[in-house]
Structure 1
Amino acid sequence: MTLLDILPSLRAAMTPRLDPALWPATTHVDERGRITVGGVALADVADHFGTPAYVLDESDVRHRCRTYRDTFPEAEIAYAAKALLTRAVARWVTEEGLSLDVCSAGELETALSAGADPRRIILHGNAKTSADLSAARAAGVGRIVVDSHTEITLLAASGRGRQNVLVRVTPDVGVRTHRALTTGVHDQKFGFPISGGHAEDALRRVLGQPRLNLIGLHCHLGSQITDPAPFATAIDRLVGTMAQVRHDHGTILTQLNIGGGHGISYTTGDPALDPSTLAATVEDALDDACARHRFPRPRVTLEPGRAIVGRAGVTVYRVLSVKRIEGARTFVCVDGGMSDNPRVARYGARYGVAVANRHSTAPATVVTVAGRHCEAGDELAVDVSLPADLRPGDVLAVPVTGAYHHSMASSYNAVPRPPVVAVAHGVPRELVRRETVTDLLRRDVGA
């Protein structure tokens, strides 16, 4: 019997085992000390589906879709599918009233196979192939975001009807917040810069094509943005550009897509972008810009991806070994790594880790959770606290892994990619099966 058993009131004064800002909304700890999500013990997922495995809380995804719809009632919310796309996820977000933003013919086909309405799909990308554009035209995609002069030419020559298009512009708005990546500035590969007449030239070319129907502008400022102020600056410059189009060409653009990139917390204390604060900022910026330029208010589209699915995901691993090196670090080696989470090596991302199969009362020790791949940089979590009695066979859970993990996974070292397992109301179900070595060999036709 522990002191907590004798004096249960002490629990209220203790630091929570799991930070509620990082874990799915349905996360709990059961009477055996196991972490559960969606009413399912993560240790049971590990036992039944194997490890590593991506676990996705359906209720959490749907809740965040509804939050965005409620927070932006007059705007269109288009889920950025590149964050995580399976047929089930496409179905969930569309059932919750969201449109879809895709970047390739493959993402488009996945969305269509889930029953998504092509008229509510947006195709964008800085280097769309002719196959991407042809697939979008054939499917009847509602909007295509033009990102180069070549695309203007290809689109104008394809199809018989008029295609609704947006032109992606870069308003030269930088983002300087915690771990943000900037894509809304002049010197990068996306869009047409407003400065230097680049956007003006692209808009003129689109307007000169009878098979293209220019309906608005698109921009994307970056990712992991936690300060709403850059959105206000961008809206001002974009509405100014729309007013200039009306002045020069007599065309009123009715749609303004301000992209996504809404930041979330990955470790305790990380800042995050609050949707309500963003909504107030967007409203004020639109009111000010439209009044100043005497321009009719356009319909706004936002494209959250990570903010919808990031926190809904947890990855579970099995501990393979614990290597304690005197005078150096302690390495906890697991059966996954950079093939299922490349963000640590690619972006220097940081994650928390918890023991999922039991509650340990051992003192905490600082460790590095290392992956199984033959790379020195294959480390999933550096300098994290885990119980000193950690042992092979324990199940570790890494939260906030719903976005850009399954999407970016590889088969490096010929390690098959993990399954995606949805949990809801106490029931787990496989959305994407585990890849096998047989799958890998089937593609190798050189024998």
Structure 2
Amino acid sequence: MIYYDTVSKVYYGVGSIMTMNERMLTGTMKINAKNHLEIGGVDTVDLVQKYGTPVYVYDIARVKEQADKFKKTFKQKNVKAQVAYASKAFSSLALYQILAKEDVSLDVVSGGELYTAIQAGFPSQRIHFHGNNKSESEIEAALDYQIGCFVVDNFYELEMLDRLSREREQMINVLIRVTPGVEAHTHEYISTGQVDSKFGFDLNSGQAQKALQSIAGMPYIELLGLHSHIGSQIFETEGFTMAIETLLKQAKQWQEDFGFELKVLNLGGGFGIRYIPEDEPLAIEEHTTAIIESVESSIKELQLSMPEIWIEPGRSLVGDAGVTLYQIGSQKKIPDVRQYLAVDGGMADNIRPALYDAKYTGILANRANDATEETYSIAGKACESGDMLIWDLPLPKAESKDILAIFSTGAYGYAMASNYNRIPRPPVVFVENGKDFLAIKRETYADMLRLDQSINAE
């Protein structure tokens, strides 16, 4: 348990005393000699001068570090595995190209993510296609690209894959996505492993078994194994252990009844990160070790062959590698009630506080270690009273044009960004080894009008 001392303004935890700033700094982030937040060896004040605000900044060394931690545990324990980045968290050409070099696989959930991967030159055999309502055109594009695997979500998709594979005489690898009846302890809107879910075949009702039997009569479909995803922002291992036990017991039963061979066990993602100082996510190594040991224990007990283990980290690769920089504008003080600070972004570039009541924290990037004097609530610029990024954030006395850095915005920030109020989406900048790279340009007003049609057009 972490406790914050409001007098000393430090966090007390197990064996540690640190300020909020120190607790939130990850990867290459630090406070430099100028009292500025620095990421990847690049001063964030310099980044703002070069790219403007708002701007998403990614610590690429941190992304690589996280990917390596996932792979390392499997390698050390000599377990065959694939670490597939769940790219719904954030996708771009440059990121896909970086991950391809890091020997990470890719989980895509739409034709757009697939197209981006194709344009990035991502190795097709390392692409897994998810989604609960894949269109025929999306499936055909994936077949043209000869991707490594489809994660089949329902009978509609299965019948389409069967028909298209027969027409093409093309072999397809699939996993059956199942809902094992295990629910992770997360927000109800982002939990997907329970029985009542739009995703996957239900185990308890016999849907998954019916899918398994159907595939036996599909000559061009190769069933590799099973997939499940029990939730998101998970801080414990018990949910994974329960899902593993359930899935492997079912695999044993199907082996005895139908000769089913479990070659791949995909346990999804959902590994939590730190959004606020009080968060206590498990180390990546703890998650992966628990998964490996649970699989090994169950297969030994059930006398099954060891499957290849696949996992799908998304936010745990990119989430805390991302920081969003804003410029502070107007202020409003309501005596004895609240002080508001408004920034030049908000729910258009980070919908999660409004959508999920997600919690974040931040600092003044240009005065990072100044003493806190006030408590502010950070308001966005959208015309919505619900456009609030952070409630009750301790900061130094803020002034207009100060730079506010909000931590852990690397997942589902740009990916869920919109043009609400016709606000252009911010640019994305990668930093590493003292250099910055513009990965996605800032959207312009003209970009937003590109698809509009005038009624006066000839």
Give the structure-2-normalised TM-score.
Answer: 0.91
Kept after mapping to 1: 8 A contact 2:329/2:343: yes
Q: Note if 1:52 corresponds to 2:51.
A: no
Question: Does the CA-based 8 Å contact 1:225-1:263 persist in structure 2?
Answer: yes
Q: What's the counterpart of residue 9 of structure 1?
A: none
Q: 178-187 vs 89-98, which deviates more?
A: 178-187
1:359 positional shift? 4.4
Match of 1:4 in 2: none
In structure 2, the residue matched to 1:87 is 93
Aligned to 2:3: none
Structure 2 spans left out of the alignment, 5+ residues: 1-15
Please, which of 112, 128, 138 is the counterpart of residue 106 of structure 1?
A: 112
Change beyond 3 A, Cα 1:179–1:167: closer
Matched with 1:141 is 147
1:302 is matched with which residue: 301, 307, 311? 311
Give the deviation of 1:363 after TM superposition: 4.3
User: Which letter does structure 2 place at the counterpart of 1:261?
Assistant: G
Distance 1:99 1:143 in 2: 11
The code of the aligned residue for 1:97 comes to D
2:73–2:289 Cα contact (<8 Å) kept: no
| In structure 2, distance between residues paired with 1:374 and 1:157 | 49
- The separation in 1 between residues aligned to 2:393 and 2:213, in whole angstroms, is 54
Please state how far the C-alpha of 1:274 moved relative to its aligned partner.
Answer: 2.1
- Measured in 2, the distance between the counterparts of 1:354 and 1:252 equals 52
Unaligned runs of 5+ in 1: 1-12
1:362 to partner: Cα distance? 5.2
Among 398, 410, 429, the residue aligned to 1:402: 410
Amino acid at match of 1:428: D
1:288 Cα deviation after fit: 2.4
Amino acid at match of 1:223: S
1:333 equivalent to 2:342? Answer: yes
Q: Deviation string for 1:301-321 (max 9, x for gaps)? A: 010010000011000000011
Tell me, yes or no, if structure 1 residue 238 matches structure 2 residue 247: yes
Structure 1 residue 180 displacement after superposition: 8.7
Give the match's secondary structure for 2:416: coil
Q: Secondary structure at the match of 1:151?
A: helix
Residue correspondence of structure 1 range 403-418 to structure 2 within 5 A? 403-418=411-426
What is the deviation of 1:47?
1.3
Q: Which residue does the alignment assign to 2:273?
A: 264
- Alignment partner of 1:323 out of 309, 332, 343: 332
The answer on whether the counterparts of 1:338 and 1:380 sit within 8 Å (CA) in structure 2 is yes
Distance in 2, matches of 1:361 and 1:300, equals 47
Give, in angstroms, the shift of residue 429 of structure 1. Answer: 1.4
C-alpha distance 363-233 of structure 1, shift in aligned 2 (>3 A): closer
**C-alpha separation in 2, matches of 1:212 and 1:363:** 61
Question: Conserved in 1, the CA contact under 8 Å of 2:56 and 2:426?
Answer: yes
Quick one: distance in 1 between partners of 2:394 and 2:245? 45
For residues 107-256 of structure 1, what are the structure 2 equivalents within 5 Å?
A: 107-158=113-164, 159-176=168-185, 181-256=190-265
Structure 2 contact 428–440 (Cα < 8 Å) conserved: yes
Matched, 1:391 2:399: yes
* Structure 1 residue 116 displacement after superposition: 0.9
1:71 and 2:93 aligned: no
- 1:109 match: secondary structure: helix
Separation of aligned partners in 1, 2:368 and 2:252 = 60
Match of 2:29 among 23, 27, 40: 27
Q: Does the 8 A contact of 1:34 with 1:41 survive in 2? A: yes
| Alignment RMSD | 1.6
1:240 Cα deviation after fit? 1.6
- 1:204 and 1:329, CA in 2 relative to 1: closer, same or farther beyond 3 A? same
Distance apart, 1:162 and its partner CA? 1.3
Which amino acid is 2:88 matched to? K
Given that 1:178 and 1:226 are in contact with CA atoms closer than 8 Å, whether structure 2 keeps it comes out as no
Which residue in the other structure is 1:312 paired with? 321
Matched, 1:438 2:440: no
CA distance in 2: counterparts of 1:149 and 1:132, whole angstroms: 17
Deviation at residue 252 of structure 1 after TM alignment: 1.1
8 Å CA contact retained: 1:178, 1:225: no
Kindly indicate whether residue 284 of structure 2 is the aligned counterpart of residue 275 of structure 1: yes
CA contact (8 A) 1:177 1:227 kept: no
The CA deviation at 1:147 is 0.5
Residue aligning to 2:5: none
Deviation string, structure 1 residues 153-188 (Cα, Å, up to 9, x no partner)? 110111321101100001101212588932111101
SS of 2:271 mapped into structure 1: coil
1:5 aligned residue: none
Distance 1:235 1:129 in 2: 30
8 A Cα contact 1:219 1:259, kept in partner: yes
Corresponding residue for residue 43 of structure 1: 45
1:429 to 429, 433, 437: 437
CA contact (8 A) 2:45 2:365 kept: yes
SS of 1:174 mapped into structure 2: coil
Which residue is 1:7 aligned to? none
The residue type paired with residue 37 of structure 1 is I
Alpha-carbon contact 1:355-1:394 (below 8 Å) kept: yes
Assess if the C-alpha contact under 8 Å between 1:85 and 1:407 holds in 2: yes
- Number of matched pairs: 433
**Distance 1:213-1:335 versus aligned 2 partners, 3 A rule:** same
Tell me if the contact between 2:31 and 2:369 (Cα under 8 Å) persists in the aligned partners.
Answer: no
Contact 1:371–1:379 (Cα < 8 Å) also in 2: yes
8 Å CA contact 2:130–2:151 kept in 1: the answer is yes
Q: Does 1:349 align with 2:358?
A: yes
**1:106 positional shift:** 0.9
Q: In the alignment, which residue of structure 2 is the partner of 1:8?
A: none
Residue 144 of structure 1, CA deviation = 0.1
CA shift at 1:260, angstroms? Answer: 0.3
User: 1:243 Cα deviation (Å)?
Assistant: 1.8
- CA distance, structure 2, for counterparts of residue 128 and residue 180 of structure 1: 21
Query: Counterpart of 2:162 in 1: which secondary structure?
Result: helix
User: Per-residue displacement from partner, 1:365-408 (whole Å, max 9, x unpaired)?
Assistant: 111000000000000110110112x1111111001010010100
* Aligned residue identity for 1:422: F
Task: Give the match for residue 4 of structure 2.
Answer: none
Amino acid in the other structure paired with 1:106: G
